[in-house]
Amino acid sequence: MEYRKLGETDLSVSAITFGAWAAGGWMWGGNDDQAAIEAMKAAYDLGITTIDTAPIYGQGKSEELVGQAIKGIPRDKVQILTKYGMRWDTTQGTFGFKSKDNDGHDLDVYKFAGKDSIIKECEDSLKRLGTDYIDLYQIHWPDASTPIAETMEAIIRLQEQGKVREAGVSNYNVQQMQEAEQTIKLASNQVPFSMVKRDIEQDVIPYCIENHKSILAYSPMERGLLTGKMKPGQQFGEGDHRAGLKFFKDENIRRTNAFLEKIKPLADEKNATLGQLVIRWTIEHPGITVALVGARNAEQATQNAKAIEVKLSTDEIDFINKQLNELQLVD
């Protein structure tokens, strides 16, 4: 495995990080708890020492499973990344969206990052994770109802108490990062980035490179689209959020698969899967520190970890980018 420093901090993380959203089951059509725990353990055994989770993933469930998976591992050998600012148990803040929990009950999600709320959230996360500190604490989504300075002051307090090591943001634009930086030193921004979703190349990536901030790329496989296993007419289970996304329109699946066919010979040449090639391309991209990749079972986690063994030359990356620049998705 390769390890990289987050921003200008002393915190090192694995270049491939375990993304534990699907582990919570929520918005992924459920999950198997034991398989999720085994996936995290298998990832750790192959050098993926960093796990990213959030309270909203399964309304605490993902964090609890992470806590079970890391039990027995020396705390300084694993890096726990979690988030705050998405509440399902209060109506404070900015209304986010309607959802359903894992039992099918209606759920209203609010973006709220008030000071007292964050302090409470942190305590709850520490309990679920079974630890006394969080390595990287990230605001999950911007909250228009709370001044950014107030939010970041709460994180400074948690740092002073030793409950949080480093501060990060998620889904922040450049202006929001700049505002946060007036109060606190940020390590990173966690944002969506994949071969078919590259809008952050315009602003967030240049800003982060210039200001020595890390980027944690989430959904680098575009929720399974870039594995090459999806086919037009793909059916998703009840509660699976992918059903309504443009990436999974039949025409876009067709176009993406045509692109993947062009780069498949390169994957074959390296005895790699398409997914492994995609992960390696992601962490080779300028400005990207980490690729967050989920796995539902130990076999998937093992496949993801082995992406680190794939080596790409400059010419090979140029070849992939050339094919990619010809890919146009429909809205």
The catalytic site residues sit at 57
Whether 180 and 188 have beta carbons less than 8 Å apart is answered as: no
Q: What is the 3 state secondary structure string of 197-265?
A: ECHHHCCHHHHHHHCCCEEEEECCCCCCHHHCCCCCCCCCCCCEHHHHCHHHCHHHHHHHHHHHHHHHH
Whether 91 and 111 have beta carbons less than 8 Å apart is answered as: no
- C-alpha angle with apex 287: 284 to 293, nearest 5 degrees? 60
DSSP 112-128: ---HHHHHHHHHHHHHH
| Distance between CA atoms of residues 163 and 155, nearest Å | 9
Q: Token digits for 55?
A: 């309270």
Q: How far apart are the first and last CA of the chain?
A: 37
Q: What 8-state DSSP symbol labels residue 31?
A: -
Q: What 8-state DSSP symbol labels residue 24?
A: G
Whether 17 and 290 have beta carbons less than 8 Å apart is answered as: yes
| Distance between CA atoms of residues 55 and 122, nearest Å | 10
| Distance between CA atoms of residues 114 and 90, nearest Å | 12
Q: What 8-state DSSP symbol labels residue 77?
A: G
